[in-house]
Amino acid sequence: MSSEKAELKLWGGRFTGKTDPLMDLYNASLPYDQKMYNADLDNSKYYTEGLLKVGLLNQEELSEIHRGLEIIRGEWKSGSFVEKQGDEDIHTANERRLGEIIGRHIAGKVHTGRSRNDQVATDMRIYCREALESLSQILRDLIGAILQRAESELDVLMPGYTHLQRAQPIRWSHWLNLYASYFTEDFKRLQQIKERLNVSPLGSGALAGHPYGIDREYIAGKLGFNGCIGNSLQAVSDRDFVVEILFWCSLFMNHVSRFSEDLIIYSTAEFGFVKLSDAYSTGSSLMPQKKNPDSLELLRGKSGRVFGSLSGFMMSLKSIPSTYNKDMQEDKEPLFDALTTVEHSILIATGVISTLDINKEKMFNALTMDMLATDLADYLVRKGVPFRETHHISGEAVSKAEKLNLSGIDKLTVDQFKEIDERFSSDVADVFDFEVSVERRTAIGGTAKSAVLQQIENLKSQLV
């Protein structure tokens, strides 16, 4: 080689001139892909076992390589790994350090038949698999915290809203189950993505496959994969699993944002339904009376950050020709940032829901009798009147109460109800009971205690 710097690069043999220092910086990914060090070391560990099987390494060489890899793992873990100029990425850094420990002659055999193209694709899948497993565990905790509240606060009634207008009475537990349901669907999607991405690209080379007949299935099994990607071109260039994860992160953060918005509204003085713990609130630098729901606002705000990661990477990916292109290096920063943001968001949301206080009296006092207008219509349905007719009759009752300046339709007398429709009788008074209203809705997904408890048990069963 005519350049010492070129000699240090994995790809340097073709080049005789030095790289622009800015290009070195622009090209480097070690500052963010070093978090894949464990995946990369496992990649090399089991790939070299595959090289042993086809006679490209002997047992003594394999033992030395494995010894060196574990030393490097310890250095990364302890924070003592020393990065050097020329360490473009985690793969280059690990291979350079391995040569320093066991000698470049043996270390130089590690990359036989392997390209950074299949190496990075494998590292990414290993890293993502482990990250999704970690997210699954803490997401399960968030759902569990919501369901625990739903069980313990089953008797609390509150208004349910459509168009942010009071609509019908519901249980607070029913509202909690709403978001437990969203997050449970997110949990299930996470398992599906983890299953789909768990196939190995390793042994595909740069794009055309492996020239030494390496046992890809053996290596895949050792690395915990369920099988191999069947086409070497796809193996090195597929980043659909990154898009899926970023989409999952975006959808989850959309759910978290809506969850946060509800609680922000419910925590205002105008509502007063919930009160956040001091641990998840901040004050104002000017107004000492303020208690701001900053945790919830950050959850809502960070959703935009994650959405941006998805849309940005999609724009990077959309016009890349086959197979591997350097554009794909842009997968890591948005992915890692989104995964970190989601992890922190789950933990914050779990803390918020576990520690907030509810004001049962304010929730109940926010219920108004006009919210039972549908129950009034249902009263006549039970007497055989078609619903379309009863809906109109109930509307007349609401209008009559307003015209008479009554505080609610429950203040109409039986005679006044009969003026609207003769089929009303004295038992109409039984309609105006919020607990009776929610308890009538016993069908699956309803607000009756039995239905709410069934929802809770169904959700628990999906988290195993």
Encode pLDDT of 347-380 as tens digits: 999 999 999 999 999 999 999 999 999 999 999 9
DSSP conformation class of 239 = -
Confidence bin at 21 (pLDDT 50/70/90): confident
Of the residues 80, 163, 426, 461, only one is catalytic, namely: 163
Say how far residue 285 (Cα) sits from the centre of its chain: 33
CA–CA–CA angle 214, 216, 220 (5° rounding) = 145
Domain 4-112 CATH superfamily: Fumarase/aspartase (N-terminal domain) (1.10.275.10)
Strands 157-162 and 274-275 turn out to be unpaired
First to last CA, the chain: 58
Name the pTM for this structure.
0.91
Q: Decide which of 213 and 10 is more confident.
A: 213
pLDDT at 16: 55
Q: Residue 163 catalytic?
A: yes
- Residue 275 pairs in a beta bridge with 357
> What is the average pLDDT score of the chain?
93
Report the topology of domain 369-432: Ribonucleotide Reductase Protein R1; domain 1 (1.10.40)
Cβ(46)–Cβ(222) below 8 Å = yes
The distance between the two most distant Cα atoms of the chain, rounded to a whole number of Å, is 105
pLDDT (tens digit per residue) in 100-156: 999 999 999 999 999 999 999 999 999 999 999 999 999 999 999 999 999 999 999
Q: Judge whether residue 2 has pLDDT over 50.
A: no
Supply the CATH classification number for the domain 117-365: 1.20.200.10
Of the residues 63, 284, 311, 407, only one is catalytic, namely: 284
Dist CA 436 CA 133 (whole Å): 43
pLDDT (tens digit per residue) in 223-279: 999 999 999 999 999 999 999 999 999 999 999 999 999 999 999 999 999 999 999
Dist CA 409 CA 398 (whole Å): 6
Domains of the chain by residue range: 4-112, 117-365, 369-432
Confidence bin at 29 (pLDDT 50/70/90): confident
SS3 content of the chain, % helix, strand, coil (to 5): 65, 5, 30
Q: Residue 303 catalytic?
A: no
pLDDT at 22: 75
Q: Judge whether residue 11 has pLDDT over 50.
A: no
Cβ(75)–Cβ(97) below 8 Å = yes
Place of tokens 């505080």: 407
